[in-house]
Amino acid sequence: MAGFKPKILLVDDEAEARSGLAHALKAKGYEVVEVGTGTEALSRAKGEWPGLIILDVVLPDISGTEVFKKLRADAITRAIPILLLTAKPDVLDQAGTEIPSFEGTRDRYFEKPGRVDELLALVHEMLIGKK
């Protein structure tokens, strides 16, 4: 379909990192909605109907893993694929912030800082439904 731009909800509290990633995603033809908190992410996920949510694990109000769980528990948002970003892989192992199982889902996680081209390739795969 000509002119169709998949929509991505980008959630990161670091404005500079969020802006840089948003720029790279837009350059690849994606529509990007940017937010900086977990609360905004929960609200906008329902209102925007993104094709993908890129969600930082460390957020100022609600952890990204908690946002993930809430999105998965909601009938409106449970089918939206989620890409969790973390700069601190050890955070994923700590009590209360463990990463949920991705077995049998399209959800993934990506360690940052990583190569932008690898992240963009993963985003593309997630949007077209590859595992």
pLDDT at 1: 42
* Long-range own/partner contacts, residues 33-38 (CB < 8 A, 24 or more apart): 33/7, 33/8, 33/9, 34/10, 35/9, 35/10, 35/11, 36/11, 36/12, 36/60, 37/11, 37/13, 37/61, 37/62, 38/11, 38/62, 38/63, 38/64, 38/66, 38/67
- Domain borders along the chain are 27-128
What is 27-128's CATH number, 3.40.50.2300, 3.40.50.2000, 1.10.10.2840, 3.40.462.40?
Answer: 3.40.50.2300
The whole model's pTM is what? 0.86
The share of the chain scoring above pLDDT 70, in percent, equals 82
Q: At what angle do helices 116-128 and 15-27 cross, to 10 degrees?
A: 60
28-50 pLDDT, tens per residue? 999 999 999 999 999 999 999 99
Average pLDDT score over residue span 93-103:
51
Decide if pLDDT at 108 tops 60. yes
pLDDT at 13: 94
